[in-house]
């Protein structure tokens, strides 16, 4: 497996693949890989002639009070996992290669980034859209794989890809969970034993809300209320948001219809965790 460190080196490798007629899959990550990332890599390795894993802890998507410095970095273990799955290259640029001196260009996706995580993390999606555009330009993939775990990110990347005319298929993969339901996340490493016990309440609360929708509830406020009730009193847990939004526009809905996203974020101690479910109203 090849390791590439600079955008021009990466692009030269990809152009060589393309010249020999090969399709390229890209799995963008910040490393500290787990089974969620593995599922994306397996899909890419299956669907494409060659696959690239990118590992880059992107400074522009972290706010000043967030965990950029502490974010787990496990490069050697990540490479071993990628190699075992059959990835062909790892693109791991350093921050100076991505953001050289006097860097001033950012991609802003409007409206979709205003609610949900965008409210608590105001510069986050500008950083995400910018880095994904830069990864696309270096890796030149035919397909790129993202997880529904970060559903707002998926919607933002899909819209940016369409709006900026990238000729790349965006593939959204299901959320991979621990046996008790907790969505896998690199940040789960921050949780101590008590936090970990509390953390399961997040996916359980969404499960209760889904049962309510399955039973016919169509008022978003009641679904949101159900999640809040399930989360109240959980030790060490503070709700950041619970919202029902249109699954593509990320704008709040009052009535549940079509396909909606029920998304929530909580703080457990200092660790922020997110989870969501997509709900498609059955046609009657
Ligand atoms: P990250 O390294 O956290 O930036 O995540 C890299 C990619 O893996 C993103 O597209 C995430 O949505 C995806 N991902 C993270 N956790 C999971 C999970 N539990 N299931 C599926 N995909 C995930």
CA distances from residue 6 to 18, 93, 104, 134 in whole angstroms, order as listed: 18, 6, 19, 12
- The residue contributing the CA closest to ligand 1 atom 7 is 29
Whole-number average pLDDT of the chain:
98
Range 185-195 average pLDDT = 97
> Which atom of ligand 1 lies nearest, measured to the CA of 186?
3
Q: Catalytic amino acids?
A: 37
Q: Please say if the pLDDT value at position 284 is more than 80.
A: no
Contacts of 50 (CB under 8 A, 6+ apart): 17, 22, 23, 24, 25, 88, 89
Can you list the pairs that 268-271 forms with residues at least 24 positions away whose Cβ atoms lie under 8 Å?
Answer: 268/191, 268/195, 268/198, 268/199, 268/236, 268/237, 268/238, 269/190, 269/191, 269/192, 269/195, 269/236, 270/190, 271/187, 271/190, 271/191, 271/195
Calculate the dihedral angle through the C-alpha atoms of 280, 281, 283, 284, rounding to the nearest 10 degrees.
Answer: 160
Minimal CA–CA distance to 52: which of 29, 19, 34, 20?
29
Handedness of CA 133, 102, 74, 152 (dihedral sign): negative
Q: What is the mean pLDDT of residues 176-187?
A: 98
Point out the ligand 1 atom lying closest to the alpha carbon of residue 30: 2
Tell me the pLDDT tens digit for each residue of 2-38: 999 999 999 999 999 999 999 999 999 999 999 999 9
- Domain ranges for the chain: 2-173, 186-277
Q: Indicate the CATH number for domain 2-173.
A: 3.40.50.620
Average pLDDT over residues 135-140: 98
108 pLDDT band, cuts 50/70/90, is very high
Beta-strand relationship, 89-91 and 259-268:
unpaired
Residues flanking ligand 1, CB < 6 Å = 29-30, 36-37, 39-40, 146-147, 149-150, 173, 175-176, 183-186
Q: What CA–CA distance (Å, rounded) separates 172 from 164? A: 19
pLDDT at 205: 98
In whole angstroms, give the CA distance from residue 141 to residue 26: 6
C-alpha of residue 151 to centroid of ligand 1, in Å: 10
Residues 6+ apart with CB under 8 A from 193: none
Among protein residues, the one with the nearest Cα to ligand 1's atom 19 is 184
How many helices (H) and strands (E) are present in the chain, helices listed first?
9, 9
Fold observed for domain 186-277 = 3.30.1300
- Bridge partners (DSSP) of residue 4 are 91
Q: What value does the mean pLDDT take over residues 138-144?
A: 99
Of the candidates 192, 189, 144, 190, the residue with the CA atom closest to the CA atom of residue 170: 144
Mutate-to-test residue for ligand 1 from 39, 43, 149, highest number of ligand atoms within 8 A of CB: 149
Distance 98 CA to ligand 1 centre (A): 21
- 144 CA distance to ligand 1 middle (Å): 12
Structure tokens at 277: 């479910």
Q: Look at residue 107 and tell me whether its pLDDT is greater than 90.
A: yes
List strand residue ranges (DSSP E) for 33-139, in order. 50-55, 89-91
Task: Calculate mean pLDDT across residues 209-223.
Answer: 98
Q: What is the pLDDT of residue 283?
A: 87
pLDDT mean over 230-252: 97
- What pLDDT does residue 34 have? 98
């Amino acid at each position: 497996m090849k390791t590439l460190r600079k955008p021009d080196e990466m692009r030269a490798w990809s152009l060589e693949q393309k010249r020999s007629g090969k399709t390229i899959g890209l799995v963008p990550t910040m490393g500290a890989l787990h089974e969620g990332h593995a599922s994306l890599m397996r899909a890419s390795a299956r669907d494409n002639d060659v696959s690239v894993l990118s590992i880059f802890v992107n400074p522009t998507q972290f706010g000043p009070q967030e965990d950029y410095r502490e974010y787990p970095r496990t490069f050697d273990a990540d490479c071993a996992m990628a190699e075992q799955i059959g990835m062909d290259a790892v693109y791991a640029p350093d921050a100076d290669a991505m953001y050289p001196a006097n860097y001033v260009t950012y991609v802003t996706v409007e409206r979709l980034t205003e609610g949900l995580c965008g409210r608590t993390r105001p510069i986050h999606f500008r950083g995400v859209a910018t880095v994904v555009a830069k990864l696309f330009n270096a890796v030149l993939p035919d397909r790129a794989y993202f997880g529904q775990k970060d559903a707002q990110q998926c919607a933002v990347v899909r819209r940016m890809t369409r709006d900026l005319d990238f000729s790349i298929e965006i593939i959204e993969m299901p959320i991979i969970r621990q046996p008790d339901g907790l969505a896998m996340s690199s940040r789960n490493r921050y949780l101590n034993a008590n936090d970990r016990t509390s953390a399961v309440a997040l996916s359980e609360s969404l499960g209760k809300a889904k049962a309510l929708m399955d039973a016919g509830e169509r008022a978003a406020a009641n679904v949101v209320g159900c999640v809040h009730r399930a989360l109240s009193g959980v030790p060490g847990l503070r709700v950041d948001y619970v919202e029902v939004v249109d699954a593509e526009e990320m704008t709040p809905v009052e009535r549940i219809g079509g396909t909606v996203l029920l998304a929530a974020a909580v703080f457990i101690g200092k660790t922020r965790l997110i989870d969501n479910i997509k709900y498609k109203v059955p046609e009657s």
